[in-house]
């Protein structure tokens, strides 16, 4: 059995979204998938669970999973291939540097005692200021 197939069978594993978090459920799922893709846990070609199946397993609304998948597709992380499902795409070089910068930012935020929500708010404000 290939690694991509094994990874998809193991996803989401024990991970579950935190319903008490200030971060929306779809965003928690989106961030978790990006984390797994960036770490190589979900390599390119991995077929993700169907929207309804994953929603049932995570005990969230199907729209939550569909929105996360849609945003991941818009970012080039996954591709939806109709009846063939949603698969992880190869990441391009541009996002490799961005991933490293994000890791540095996360480390700095943790070192200064910022919560995840505070770090996201600061990043969102900086992102919006650049428009």
81 has a pLDDT exceeding 60: yes
Per the omega criterion (within 30 degrees of 0), is the bond before 102 cis? no
pLDDT tens-digit series, residues 82-105 = 888 999 998 764 466 677 788 889
pLDDT tens-digit series, residues 30-39 = 999 999 998 8
Q: pTM to 2 decimals? A: 0.66
Buried b (16+ CB within 10 A) or exposed e, 30-49: bebbbebbbeebbbeebbbb
Nearest alpha-carbon partner for 46 in 94, 95, 87: 87
pLDDT of 96 reads 64
| Average pLDDT of the residues in 95-120 | 87
Report the C-alpha gap between 25 and 29 in whole angstroms: 6
Which residues lie closer than 8 Å to 47 by C-beta, 6 or more apart?
A: 4, 5, 8, 84, 85, 86, 87
């Amino acid at each position: 059995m290939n690694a991509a197939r094994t990874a998809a069978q193991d996803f989401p594993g024990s991970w579950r979204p935190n319903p008490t978090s200030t971060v929306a459920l779809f965003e928690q799922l989106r961030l978790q998938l990006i984390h797994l893709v960036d770490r190589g846990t979900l390599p390119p070609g991995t077929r993700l669970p169907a929207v309804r199946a994953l929603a049932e397993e995570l005990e969230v609304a199907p729209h939550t999973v569909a929105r996360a998948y849609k945003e991941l597709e818009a970012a080039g992380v996954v591709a939806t291939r109709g009846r063939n499902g949603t698969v992880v795409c190869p990441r391009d070089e541009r996002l490799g540097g961005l991933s490293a910068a994000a890791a540095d930012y996360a480390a700095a935020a943790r070192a200064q005692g910022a919560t995840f929500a505070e770090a996201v708010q600061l990043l969102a404000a900086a992102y919006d200021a650049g428009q």
